[in-house]
Chains A and B, each alone.
Chain A
Amino acid sequence: MAETKEKSLSDEKPKPRVRPIVRLGIFLISHSFHVSVVCCTAGVLALFLLPVLAKNTYISENALMPGSASPMLSNQHVSDGNRLVKDLTNPNSKSSETGIESHKIIAQYMLDLGAEVSFHKFHPQMNQFHPLHFFSSPDSGKIQENYSCSSYGINTVGIIRAPHGDGKEAIVLVTPYNALKSGFGEALSLGIAYSVFSLLTQVTWLAKDIIWLVADSQYGEYAAVAAWLREYQTPKFSSLSTPNAEMCPDVNNLFELKGHSISGSKFSNSFRRAGTMASALVLKVRDQNEQFEDTISIYAEASNGQMPNLDLINVVNYLAVHRQGLRVNVEKLWSLLNSSWLKSLGEIFESLAKVAKSLYPKWKFGIPATEYVEGTATLASSLYYQALGVPTGPHGAFRDYQVDAITLEISPKFSLDKVWRNDILLRGGRLIEGVIRSVNNLLEKFHQSFFLYLLTSPSKFVSVGVYMIAFALLIAPLPMVAASLYVDANSSSNCSKGDSSTPSAITDTDEHSIAIRSWRWLNSAKLVFIVHLWGAIVSLLPYFISQIPDCSPTTSFMIWVLLSILSLLTLNSVLASPLACAKATQEKEWALVKSVTISSVFIGLGLMSVINFATAEIGALLMVPMCLLAQPLKLDVRAGTLRSFCRMICNLVLGHIAFPPAAFFLLKGMLDGFGNANVGDFWMWVESLWAWNSATYLFIGMVQLPCWVLCISILFHTC
């Protein structure tokens, strides 16, 4: 364990009889430079090895039994679905301005199947500043003051009660639909959902209720689903005085019309609920497509890099590939696919594996170079989206309530004839039916398989136990170097004290040095604490800046930077620059500052790796070298050797790269080209982070930025 290691590391005086663990610790401390070089290299190498180490997925939960029953979705259901598609794409249905007509059509179709139908009206929520939200459970949402009747959305919800179920569990099927400007794809997705829905009203095996949510996506797909979920999970009882959607004439109109035209008793004005959600599927069909075959893309990343249970992805992948003959895709970083260095790296790994296999035939770990490149591209995108902490689709809203959900996007090869349309309806419908049937078999929540993993292809994954090794190797040098710096700083001051003191004054000096020796780090800790406090202030500033009306991103960013610098100067002057005043007493102050900085970075990275691994990994790649290399430039200049010169160059380069905005622009430039980089982009990016409750925002503000400031202050330390 790192703690025990560190404990032994900071043992400062080797006694005659040392325990082995202490001896090991002393050895590690004294060779901390070599150890940290080896560990960091191994950490980066292990990161690149992850695609090779990826395992094939397998269905872990026995109860799922995907594909064990033959699909029951027949051409009858497909033609039902086709009818709905035709009705929706019929130009007459789009006459109304708010698209109420198409909602009515959908509701009528649901009612005809015997499902319970209700409408859910919602107001889109504004972006709010709640950076700590990832930590708490979602609340019922603040009731905003200024609702206008012009902006609201309508979700249509249909519920089938399971004939044999007890109504305590449910499976959710979501189809985003924008009634105002729906493409053919959205109508088709509704058609697929409808054909499955019509089948499910007839089957006898259903044990969980089915909820079909047609989410009104005119204010974004996520907002609609999130609003419905919020209402479903945490009902709010607003006081009568606040205006809400019910008071708007247009909506009332909708209900009145309903009342006249629909004779069924299954329609209700109130919000309908079924049981606890076992899982949710979001179904989309892409409009235009340039693929040569029918593919299905899986989006799984929810907020803060949370993933649904791997079994859900496995079931979809298994059914799509082995039953319906669809190609399954997960997101890739396309720019990496053509990079030559990655290809050559893959070839190196491949040849190494061949050599290993020739040495001992049972070692089979190599994968072809092309597969390696693809795996790396997928892994990189998996890391990127998890690190961003922004959900990749409406499924993200479900994960906030611990419901496993994924988005399936079907991209059919494009043609317009009816046969093709029937084919895609049939295959898509059968896939959804199969997944629902599997989930229907579940006795408990998804729990068997992994929650913490990275995908390298739809059928390959890297589990937490493997990718943590890469991360642990990367941050392992931190406690070691911290301990060695600490010990150095302490012992050097002891030596100087011992030399200068005369025998007669020994008691006095000893008493004095002892009083400060062991607790000298408190001064540095104070500095580190102040800088972290400043980080917290900087993270809070955007809340106030975003209140300023009519502010362009560039000006907002400028205000932010100015206020940050101002607050740093104020804090520094109020709390009396500890670096300067401590310098008088100790010459090795910077070493202690560096030691405490490294400790705090270690804690921060360890913490972040639990909250969101991908952020911690990317942050560690930037911060670990910077922290480890930081040394006052003055010392390097004075030394004048080649080694110190290299270190100085590295320090300067890292000092530029690790500054969060600089890192952002560098990354953006690498992905999109440097041509259209704009200062305001960073502000917009940060805004999106906090609006999506991403923990990455806090990480940047409270770990990375303070660490950068501390490292810069070490670089420019006057010693």
Chain B
Amino acid sequence: MQDLCTMVHLCYCLFLVLSPLIELKDSQIIFCTDVVSAMLIRATGQNLRLAYLRSLESLDLVKQIEVSGDIAALIYLCNPFTIVACVGLSTSPIENMAVILCLYGACSRLIPLAAFGWVIATHLSLYPAILIIPVIFLLGCGPDSPPRKLFLQRHQQKEVLNQSKLPPRFSWGPVIHFAFWAFLWSVYVLVLCGISLKQFGGLWEMFKSTYGFILTVEDLSPNIGVLWYFFAEVFEFFRNFFLIVFHVNILFMILPLAIRLRHRPCYLAFVYVAICSMLKSYPSVGDSALYLGLLGWFVNELADMQFSLFLFCGYVGVSLLSPVMHNLWIWRGTGNANFYFATAMVYACLQIVLVVEGVSAMLNHDRKLRNLITGKPQDAKS
């Protein structure tokens, strides 16, 4: 499954970074990664909160924000999905840490760190490559804030244009800096991989058996995603076509979301991570653990989210039902693949509802801020 391919990766990584003798299974690496991830999430959350407070102040909207990054870190650590992934010695906590490292670096403007996180995350599981867009926004215009238009409106009302209170315009300096570092790190990683893999067929072999493995969905053993079932059923001569369709699916969503949510790069990153974990070829619960943890950053903004109880019950229900269905199919032999696939589909639907509702709640939040500034009544929302 997915672990298999990341295992291959990790062998290279551990080869480079640590000593080749360390085994994942017997060490505390995965546990430590989770703790480090939580700490990074907390630090990033506090960064975000400070930035958001500052921008709200400049809009003269005083708002009590009691919760901070703490809650996101707590959600990440106490999430049963995280615990299961950690206990099951899945490698997804390591991928998650790379993603979080990248976001943390971008939020606190540690450009080399962000570049390192991005390169490693991409190297480990390919999908985080699309995080380059939110990272560029983060570096270019700073962390999440209300839309820029609002600031302009506010200052037009006051009829004093105080430039210092406006959020900064997009600056290309850090982005170029980031690109340089990303290039440097990837060359570094590739060279090291090349050296260590010389006797196993070189870099090309690595690409084929890692990225190729991810992109061609070769392993059809059941997981919580939906692709295994689909590609087990699909006719062989349509296979390539549907491979392209499914992967382009992710790419299609990148641009519209990036345009709509460009003023909230961290939220954009959350949405991307959620979409990836939904559409990736070998999803695991560790991926859900990541985006649910990141969700904690936006508790204030998403307070108005609909269907929260429904989503919560759905997640609980699916995570209990899916092992039972698997048991019924594989062990007891009284069920069949459709039983398990049904839970996988429900799970995918839940994720879709979460993303859709999350994005619409965020847009509603922006709308509400605009209404507060322009002084329109509350009911005019949407």
On A, residues with C-beta under 8 Å from B are: 1, 3, 6-7, 10-12, 15, 135, 137, 306, 402, 445, 451-452, 483, 486, 506-507, 510-512, 514-519, 521, 525, 595-596, 599-600, 602-603, 606-607, 610-611
Contact = CB atoms under 8 A, between A and B. Distances in A.
Contacts, number: 81
Interface residues of B, number: 36
A423 B353 CA distance: 69
Interface in B332-357: 332-334, 339, 346, 349-350, 353
A7 B309 contact: no
A590 to B, nearest CB: 16
A689 to B, nearest CB: 19
Given A306-B334, A507-B372, A611-B324, A10 B306 contact: yes
Given A452-B334, A518-B308, A521-B312, 12 more contacts: A3-B350, A7-B310, A10-B307, A12-B306, A135-B324, A306-B332, A445-B333, A510-B378, A511-B64, A512-B64, A595-B309, A607-B321
A442 B313 CA distance: 45
A6 B353 CA distance: 12
Given A506-B378, A610-B321, A518 B332 contact: no
A710 B314 CA distance: 21
B327 interface: yes
Contacts of A452: 334
Interface in B55-80: 61, 63-64
A603 B316 contact: yes
B313 A514 contact: no
A610 B328 contact: yes
A116 B324 CA distance: 41
A606 B321 contact: yes
Nearest to B327: A135
A516 B334 CA distance: 45
Contact of A515 (B303, B306, B334): B303
B63 A7 contact: no
Most A C-beta atoms less than 10 A away, residue of B61, B310, B320: B310
A518 B321 contact: no
- Max count, chain B CB within 10 A of own CB: residue among A596, A600, A603: A603
B179 interface: no
Interface in B244-284: none
A348 B43 CA distance: 71
A521 B372 contact: no
Contact of A518 (B306, B325, B350): B306
17 contacts: A3-B346, A7-B310, A10-B306, A402-B331, A451-B334, A452-B334, A512-B64, A514-B303, A514-B304, A515-B303, A518-B304, A603-B316, A603-B317, A606-B321, A610-B324, A610-B328, A611-B324
Contacts of B317: 603, 606-607
Contacts of B327: 135
Q: Which 5 A-B pairs have CB atoms at the shortest separation, nearest pair first?
A: A451-B334, A603-B317, A402-B333, A599-B313, A515-B303
Contacts of A596: 309
B30 to A, nearest CB: 24
Contacts of B308: 518-519, 521
A112 B122 CA distance: 71
A311 to B, nearest CB: 14
Contacts of A510: 378
B300 interface: yes
A10 B312 CA distance: 13
B304 A517 contact: yes
Given A506-B378, A519-B303, A599 B331 contact: no
Given A515-B300, A599-B313, A607-B324, A137 B331 contact: yes
A525 B312 contact: yes
